[in-house]
Structure 1
Amino acid sequence: MTLIPDLSLTGRKSDQPMVSAFSRKETAHMQVMGAPVMPDDQQGLWHQLTQVQPRASQGARLAYLHIPFCQTKCSYCAFYQNRTSDEKVANYLDALLSELAMTSQQPGLIDTPFDGIYIGGGTPSDLSPSQIALLGNAIHRYLPLRTDAELTFEARFHGFDKDRFTACLDAGFNRFSLGVQSFDTELRQRLGRIDDEITVRRELDRMCNQDQAVIVTDLIYGLPGQTLDHWQRDLDILAESGVGGADLYQLILLPESQLGRSVNKGKVPAPPGLEEKAAMFAAGRKTLKRHHFNRLSVSHFGRDSRERNRYNHLSKAGADLVPFGCGAGGL
């Protein structure tokens, strides 16, 4: 009997595997598996799940809290849900805090402390300073935390001013995930990002120079119109900044996204090919290594021991992940 390997998983043998192992990028996110839970069954199932002790991944436990609002929609994004409005955000936050309070006394939640909390979206930094304080207080009140718990707050540069940043620090957040995508103003505008390079670099330096939390950013390679020179410049700016961690993501060009439609209609340049993207990733790995970043996962790099990437590492290792809020995912 001869076993024929599944090349979609193993890739083709080659002297240049980064270029020829796979013909194209298939997917980057887990597909939706399972079936929807009907409204009449939701409360009973949630009560049942919150009675269960963590699975045996060293007893690790995480929580994800979702803020499903954005001021604008980025042209490549698949996560946009609702446009930010003061009234909707206030009503949603009230409901989220109530959800935390109602579930906080369930044995499955209070018996084991949480190793990591992630506030994602959407754009959590659209919350006001007072709302950030309310959210932080609720987390500390209702969710038991380990003494070295990682509390990550996701933000965009636009609108994430000194007052909001300070409110996050005062609320106990010790890690910030900020989407850069590219420092290049023209590329950023093509992606629907608001701030230009000067603003992004100034704000990034401001937060890094305070040195009160780990600052993590991400860059995207394979953008329409992006060259290797563009990418190398982004890498150099990132490496010379004070960030503690970085993600290097390949663009997922969704055909039905605004950016995907623009590419298909020839309104913007086509994205780089597979060989060019392989060269970009290799340049990223080489540049960050030269600047003493350690590779912590396929796409994530940390500069020193403060950047643990605990939420992503533990969630992929099978830790319990408790979701809170509309659109939140859990395991």
Structure 2
Amino acid sequence: MSGHLVLEDHFANGKHPLERAFDRRNLFPWLQRSMRPFPDPRANYKELVSEKKSGKCVVYVHVPFCANHCLFCGFYRDRSAEEAMRDYTDHLVQEIEMDPVKNRVDTVHAVYLGGGTPSALSAQDLQRVIRALRQNLPLAPDCEITVEGRVAGFDLEKVDACFDVGVNRISVGVQAFDTQLRRRFGRKADQEGVLEFLSALSTRNKAAIVCDLIFGLPGQTMQGWQDDVRLCSQLGLDGVDLYCLTVHDKGPLAMSIEKGALPTQAPLSEMAQMYQAGLEIIEQAGWRHLNQAHWAANTRERNLYNQLVKAGADCIAYGSGAGGLLDGQRYVVDGDRISYQKRIANGEKPLAMMLPAARHHHARDLIMGSLEGGRLDLNELERCTAPGLIEALYPLFEQWQQAGLLSLSGTVAVLKTPGWFWHCNLVGSLFELIGVFIDGNKAEKPRFAFTEKGKKYA
């Protein structure tokens, strides 16, 4: 191969591997490529779905409604309204029924209803969506079916309606248990209400119950964070996500901080320490570390959708604003709900755009999926790239080992706690270096990264 690898640009700071391994934290390495969308996404989509395809496949269904806009959320689109949600469900079911992608699919291994807040839909509409998926797609007998929700508005009638149509995983966006902190960021239920709801879900014993927690929130203390993680480990849940706060540029949280209505977010060094503290608490409780942000208390929790998506599995997308992936080609469904519904009514798959597959996307998928799970086999990576890659990259992995990010066992790299925290930086570096090694050209520089202050870099 003709590419010359300048590994020093990707070395980590070994003096402070957890807090300051790199100058800034890389957030979305899989999106960091400048690609021109296909001029006619419908033609490309039609070609992709025309032939049967075997292999791992998941489904993402987007519900763009929320009762209110929480300050930290970058996904808010539409305020919940009963008539609008019922009308949206009508069109969503129609999209599922008419989408020719069902002719391509061999088996669906996981379904995820995200948003927004899917639990904002009525019990009847939730059932309509799940039934449409079951009737139109070949779901595996053990297909993981997740409904994402929040405590407010997710009554037990809806919960039982989900169980009745085969939902076997519920992910609850708790974010924080402390009532004062929850109120500050727009969460309606207090701590007592959250605990009562999670207890009711767990005692039903019909599905994997998972909750999300966020660290680095403005005003959140280390003690408060540790208390939240400990509480989570005592509730009889099946899984937990520990997410690092992302401040979305010009979002409501960023604006509140800028105006002085809220304190600044925790600096990156503190968030790294919070991640380590959370990891230690949850693992001392006996939970398994499934991937970068997720832990399982038992074998019922698989977190299958997230793991398969990160590894590049085909992802069928339904709903306004949903994103999908077919043969490495990313596509987005029309994010304007009214436009989306009009196009559905006209019998059209309402695509907003489709991007070509990234170069060497199979290698990128292997890197992303493997490091998301904490382990990368360099022999396997070389087999799907080019001879000589291990020899070219090994000095970088040795430096990362010396810096405390990972350990090496022959040609297998296993992440340590700092490596888990900075895993997207490692992924981004490998994406770039593989491009250089194979193509002999400088790979694309990251387009989205954040410093401790949350400022974007181009």
TM-score, L = length of structure 2: 0.67
Equivalent residue runs for 1:25-36 within 5 Å: 25-28=25-28, 30-31=30-31, 34-35=35-36
SS in 1 for 2:59: strand
The answer for the alignment partner of 1:17 in structure 2 is 17
SS in 2 for 1:79: coil
- Residue 308 (structure 1) aligned to one of 302, 305, 311: 302
**What amino acid does structure 1 have at the position aligned with 2:7?**
P
Equivalent residue runs for 1:60-75 within 5 Å: 60-75=56-71
The answer for the alignment partner of 2:87 in structure 1 is 91
Say if 2:283 is the partner of 1:289.
yes
Q: 1:3 & 1:124 partners in 2: Cα distance?
A: 46
SS in 2 for 1:18: helix
Distance 1:45 1:53, change over 3 A: same
Deviation sequence 1:246-298 (CA, Å, 0-9, x none): 11111001231111111122221122222221211111110000111111111
Native 8 Å contact 1:79 1:121 kept in 2: yes
Native 8 Å contact 2:102 2:136 kept in 1: no
Native 8 Å contact 1:51 1:106 kept in 2: no
The answer for the alignment partner of 2:51 in structure 1 is 52
Native 8 Å contact 2:64 2:115 kept in 1: yes
Distance 1:276 1:11, change over 3 A: farther
Native 8 Å contact 2:118 2:148 kept in 1: yes
SS in 1 for 2:193: helix
Distance 1:62 1:6, change over 3 A: farther
- Structure 2 gaps, min length 5: 326-458
SS in 1 for 2:291: coil
The answer for the alignment partner of 1:256 in structure 2 is 250
Q: 1:258 & 1:65 partners in 2: Cα distance?
A: 25
Deviation sequence 1:193-239 (CA, Å, 0-9, x none): 11111111110111011111001111100110111011011011101
The answer for the alignment partner of 2:72 in structure 1 is 76
Distance 1:197 1:296, change over 3 A: same
Report deviation, 1:61: 0.7
Greater mean alpha carbon deviation, residues 117-126 or residues 259-268: 259-268
Native 8 Å contact 1:151 1:175 kept in 2: yes
Distance 1:168 1:6, change over 3 A: farther
Distance 1:241 1:148, change over 3 A: same
Structure of larger gyration radius: 2
- Structure 1 gaps, min length 5: none
Say if 2:147 is the partner of 1:153.
yes
**What amino acid does structure 2 have at the position aligned with 1:326?**
S
Greater mean alpha carbon deviation, residues 19-28 or residues 278-287: 19-28
Report deviation, 1:54: 3.3
Q: 1:330 & 1:6 partners in 2: Cα distance?
A: 35
Report deviation, 1:314: 0.8
SS in 1 for 2:61: strand
Greater mean alpha carbon deviation, residues 320-329 or residues 19-28: 19-28
Native 8 Å contact 2:49 2:101 kept in 1: no
Distance 1:85 1:297, change over 3 A: same
Say if 2:172 is the partner of 1:172.
no
- Give the RMSD, CA atoms, in angstroms: 2.0
Q: 1:284 & 1:258 partners in 2: Cα distance?
A: 27
The answer for the alignment partner of 1:107 in structure 2 is 103
Native 8 Å contact 2:75 2:115 kept in 1: yes
Distance 1:240 1:51, change over 3 A: same
* Identical positions, percent: 37
Report deviation, 1:3: 4.5
The answer for the alignment partner of 1:299 in structure 2 is 293
SS in 2 for 1:330: strand
Distance 1:85 1:62, change over 3 A: same
The answer for the alignment partner of 1:4 in structure 2 is 6
Deviation sequence 1:28-67 (CA, Å, 0-9, x none): 47538645567xx454443322223436xxx111111111
Distance 1:87 1:278, change over 3 A: same
Deviation sequence 1:88-128 (CA, Å, 0-9, x none): 1111111111111112685213xx01001111111100111
The answer for the alignment partner of 2:259 in structure 1 is 265
How many residue pairs match? The answer is 322
The answer for the alignment partner of 1:329 in structure 2 is 323
**What amino acid does structure 2 have at the position aligned with 1:253?**
V
